[in-house]
Chain A
Amino acid sequence: MSNDKLKIEFLKPENCVFSFNSNGFLVMTLEGELKGRVKLIRTYPYSLTDEYICVHDLDDNEIGIIRDLKELDQNSKESAEKELQNRYYCPTVTAVKSVKERMGHFYFQTVVDGKEKNFTVRDITRNMRFASDDTLLIFDMDGNRYIIPEFEKIESKSKRLLEPYLY
């Protein structure tokens, strides 16, 4: 198969306008037609956060894909970025103060987004794993998700506490 056949039809950036309505929800206008509330989906959520963004309607039907948010006009770009930031917000662990194991449960004392946060992880080798080369994900036993975006840059004590459990 030649590569020509693998080309995707992207949404034309000049035809897409994103904005927030008065209730704070993202709405889209495509080729002058109001599409109403839409969902934005990152297809590469860790490596390409602003590229290959899928636009879905509320029934999860795909409207199209935006190649790069940079191609949108400034207001639309800012609105889309804000929406993605809300939708993909993940509590960031900035420091790990202690990891204690008791009865197969691992009790984490951490700093999440500047505030102290304690959570419990069960089955640690499965619930703490790298999503990409340097992005570490931690899932607690309630199903919450935490992220360490640049594991190599986290302070050495935190790294030392987590390293023994990393797969």
Chain B
Amino acid sequence: MEILNKILYKLHIKKPPRSHKGERELLPPPVKDILEKENLDTSSVIFSLKTDMCGAEEYGDVYIFFDEKGIYTAEIEEPIKPKKNKKKLDFKPKLLKLTSIPIDEIDEVFAEQYLATGQLTYTCKGEYYSLGYFSIGLLERADNFRRIFNAFKQNKDHEQYLNNDTGNACEKCGTPIPKGLKYCKDCVDKKSTVKRLFSFFGDVKWKMIFMICAVLFSSAINLILPKFSTQKLYDEVLNTSNTLGYDALLKGLFSVVLTMAALKITHQLFTLFYQYIVAGILPEVVYGIKLKIFKAMQSLSVGFYTHKQTGSLMDRVTRDANNIYWFFVDGFPYLIANAVTVAGLIVIMFFTSAKLTLTILSATVFILVLYPIVNKKFRKLHHRVWVQNSRLTSKVSDNINGHRIIKAFSKENDELDEFGKISSGLLNAEIKSANTESTVFPILSILIYLISAVVLGYGGILCIVHKEITVGELLTFVVYLQMLQAPIEFLSWVTTWWARCVDSAQRVFEIMDTEPDVKDKDNPIILDDFKGSVELQELQFEYEPAHPIIKNLSLKIEAGEMLGIVGKTGAGKTTISNLIARLYDPKEGVVKIDGIDVKDLSSKQLRRNIGIVSQDIFLFMGTIADNIRYARPDATNDEVIAAAKAASAHSFISKLPDGYETYVGSGGKGLSGGERQRISIARTIIQNPKILILDEATAAMDTETERNIQNSLSQLKSGRTTIAIAHRLSTLRDADKLAVIDEGECIEFGTYEELMEKKGAYYNMFKLQEEALRFIGIGEESSRETDEKEHEHNEQR
């Protein structure tokens, strides 16, 4: 059996899939069998988790699963034969330990995160108990176990989370596929990547066929050139045993020269033709690839961008697309030309002299073995130089961005020393690389020269002693030998280049294949009349597994009302606005707009009707007018100025030398934080949204500007739902309702009067800020207003 498995493995015949669509496998059949031998009914298991640790510091396979009666942990010994890529064909588990905890003794399950591991724990009457450990890579699945069990225990709908399980298995090999990916890393083969890579050239396939034909003709002419030039010249013209007359020799010479010129010109014409086609096709194809990556990136959710570093994404649009480009510009045509040349040369040489050809081929094998070894060495050396160069670039970039801090702390000399250290690292890497290159290449050249000399010597013997070949044929052989050197050298390292191109293609396809976390339903609801009432029902959300940011949050505001959200930094205020705009989907609970779940609404209509003025201000490259018009490019100049006036931005814009045509964004005019924020407010004003979210919109401004913008925003608020998030409570004076958020929970909700009367968290925050402002002398006016408001409120009562 073992031998059969080995054969199947070698033949790449994979074991049957562990799971099928629509049927989730909770426990593998062999594990089920041994558990059933222990009189455990595995048919009623609701959910199971396979962990990889049997102790805090020990690896081992443990299944944690539960049914209506309780939670069970089964430590299993799975004999796995160590194989290169973890594939196991034989699976005979042994039960080491089985424990069960009755469901009545479990109040709640928790997933705790440590540095590289995590622990599932549960509580019983306030006491904590351990369920088992797992590697940190399983945290998301462990957290899902916690969520499903707790929902089941609390008689909530636990089935909605069963499909959240990240255990989507590859249909071919059964390996779990990371969330967001469509393919399995082991089963995606180079063939399919290459097929997809060539599919980019589908639109230009006729041009490609013409190009390949031109390359073939060009190579073929190049091959026959020595036969019709060198050989003919030596054998028919310069041969001393020729008895032909002077005129006939001259005619022969003339014919050889003409043939040479004609062949060379035709060769060059075909070369020009294919290079012309390549130059036409490739920019078009690379433009297409970049456009496809960019389009895929636009459709991805915000979560994807927060998990990927910007640099890595930039690389994919630029470096990876260029890697593909350069291979096809510089590599692909020459790959065909060189492959045809090598094959053609060998055939022609073989027919000329089989003995000499075999000698050359044995020498070629030696070169083919030698070159990859040398290339591997150089690749490592070049990578080291690249790494050192990257360090140096990062240091320079750090210095340029932090120049003010460096000067303020008088750290120029320290920075210089550090730069010197990194620079000397690069110097050493470059010296080592250059030294190796200058030693290895001459040695290689000498070796190749020696091989040529041996071939020439042996050919001379065949020509002079054995009379097997003519002088012309021998000299043609020498020319062919020289012609063989460059293609062989090329073919020996083009594989590395090709691998790099396929890697880049793979990374590009990864983006194209990533499914957005937030996507519209097939037939989303489009509201005829978008009013703007917002309701959050038992909302729960986390950016990272087991780190809840929003915990069971519920609140409601009617269309046209203003809600003020207050709370400490990191309380989850901004997350609420992200969830309302559906930049993320909640883990649990529902966000409703006009009584409909946002997941059912068209996200295009939703976002067109939600305007966010965020604390992270971003201006795109372009003029100030372009930036204000961003949400509505058809806005007139009048509307742009009116929006800027409403956002108190007009006064500073009109003072700029280039006015509304001032270039901003990366490389543009430097504006202050307040100025940039005012432009972003104008951008939202022109959007005219039904729901306006102001996330610390005026935090970066002085009191006077803040007051001006507040007045502008007050006008803007009329007729639309406004959600204002603020630290400074004075900015929420006009709010109809206030919500105090603490650690992801709404701890107080009501009108200003209700909360002040309650004398709870809001009241304490208000008094604290009032005292602070009074202390620094700028809050007198605001406190007077508050006193007036309180007085007015008391009178009303």
Contacts and interface: CB of A to CB of B under 8 A. Distances in A.
B24 interface: no
Nearest to B394: A167
B332 to A, nearest CB: 19
A37 B185 CA distance: 42
B383 A165 contact: yes
Interface size band for B: 35 or more
A118 B85 contact: yes
B608 interface: no
Contacts of A116: 82
Interface string A20-60: 00011100000000000100000001000000000000000
B759 interface: no
B384 interface: yes
A21 to B, nearest CB: 8
Interface stretch (B4-12, B135-143, B775-783): B135-143
Contacts of A120: 185
A140 to B, nearest CB: 7
B312 interface: yes
B116 A103 contact: no
Contact of B136 (A103, A143, A163): A143
Given A87-B115, A89-B115, A166-B387, A142 B178 contact: yes
Contacts, number: 90
B84 interface: yes
A93 to B, nearest CB: 12
Interface stretch (B126-134, B266-274, B451-459, B678-686): B126-134
B503 A89 contact: no
Contacts of B84: 107, 109, 118
B506 to A, nearest CB: 5
A86 B193 contact: no
A109 B127 CA distance: 42
A103 B506 contact: yes
A16 interface: no
Contact of A164 (B56, B114, B178, B380): B380
B634 interface: no
B82 A145 contact: no
B115 A90 contact: yes
Interface string B176-206: 0010000001001010010000000000000
A91 B116 contact: yes
A15 interface: no
B128 A89 contact: no
B4 to A, nearest CB: 24
B86 interface: yes
Which of the listed residues B130, B137, B383, B504 has the most CB atoms from chain A within 10 Å of its own CB? Answer: B137
Contact of A145 (B136, B193, B507): B136
B135 A45 contact: no
A147 B387 CA distance: 21
Contacts of A86: 56-57, 114
A118 B86 contact: yes
Nearest to A100: B84
Contact of B190 (A89, A103, A147): A103
B383 A144 contact: no
A24 B309 contact: no
A25 B137 CA distance: 23
B506 A104 contact: yes
A105 B187 CA distance: 13
Contacts of A165: 383, 387
Interface string A76-114: 000000000111111100000000000111010100110
Which of the listed residues A86, A113, A118 has the most CB atoms from chain B within 10 Å of its own CB? Answer: A86
A7 interface: no
A23 B353 CA distance: 86
A103 B503 contact: yes
Interface in B263-314: 309, 312
A5 interface: no
A164 B116 contact: no
B74 interface: no
A87 B390 contact: no
Contacts of B57: 85-86, 89, 113
A89 B387 contact: no
Contact of A143 (B56, B139, B312, B390): B139
Interface size band for A: 35 or more
Contacts of B85: 107, 118
A167 B429 CA distance: 13
Interface in B358-391: 380, 383-384, 387, 390-391
B387 A167 contact: yes
B59 interface: yes
B614 interface: no
Which of the listed residues B185, B391, B504 has the most CB atoms from chain A within 10 Å of its own CB? Answer: B185
A140 B117 CA distance: 14
A45 B114 CA distance: 12
A125 interface: yes
Contacts of A143: 136-137, 139
A88 B309 CA distance: 26
B387 A23 contact: no
Interface string A56-80: 0000000000000000000000000
Interface string B502-544: 1110110000000000000000000000000000000000000
Given A120-B185, A125-B387, A145-B136, A89 B380 contact: no
A12 interface: no
Contact of A45 (B115, B136, B506): B115
Given A86-B56, A87-B114, A141-B178, A125 B136 contact: no
Given A105-B185, A123-B312, A167-B390, A25 B507 contact: no
A115 interface: yes
B101 to A, nearest CB: 12
Interface in B96-132: 114-117, 127-130
Given A37-B128, A144-B137, A126 B86 contact: no
Contact of B309 (A23, A37, A85, A126): A126
A123 B193 CA distance: 18
B467 to A, nearest CB: 53
Contact of A88 (B114, B130, B193): B114
Nearest to B139: A143
Contacts of B117: 89
Contacts of B502: 103
A115 B58 CA distance: 10
A106 B496 CA distance: 15
Contacts of A164: 380, 383-384, 387
A23 B504 CA distance: 51
Contacts of A103: 185, 188, 190, 193, 502-503, 506
A140 B137 contact: yes
Contacts of A123: 312
Contacts of A105: 185
B387 to A, nearest CB: 6
B115 A88 contact: yes
A87 B57 CA distance: 9
B528 to A, nearest CB: 45
Nearest to B137: A142
B708 to A, nearest CB: 37
Interface of A: 23-25, 37, 45, 85-91, 103-105, 107, 109, 112-113, 115-118, 120, 123, 125-126, 140-147, 163-167
7 contacts: A87-B115, A89-B56, A90-B115, A103-B185, A104-B506, A143-B137, A167-B387
Given A24-B130, A141-B185, A147-B116, 8 more contacts: A85-B56, A85-B57, A89-B116, A103-B502, A118-B85, A123-B312, A144-B135, A145-B116
The 10 closest A-B pairs by CB, nearest first: A142-B137, A104-B503, A144-B137, A86-B56, A90-B116, A145-B116, A143-B137, A164-B380, A87-B114, A89-B57
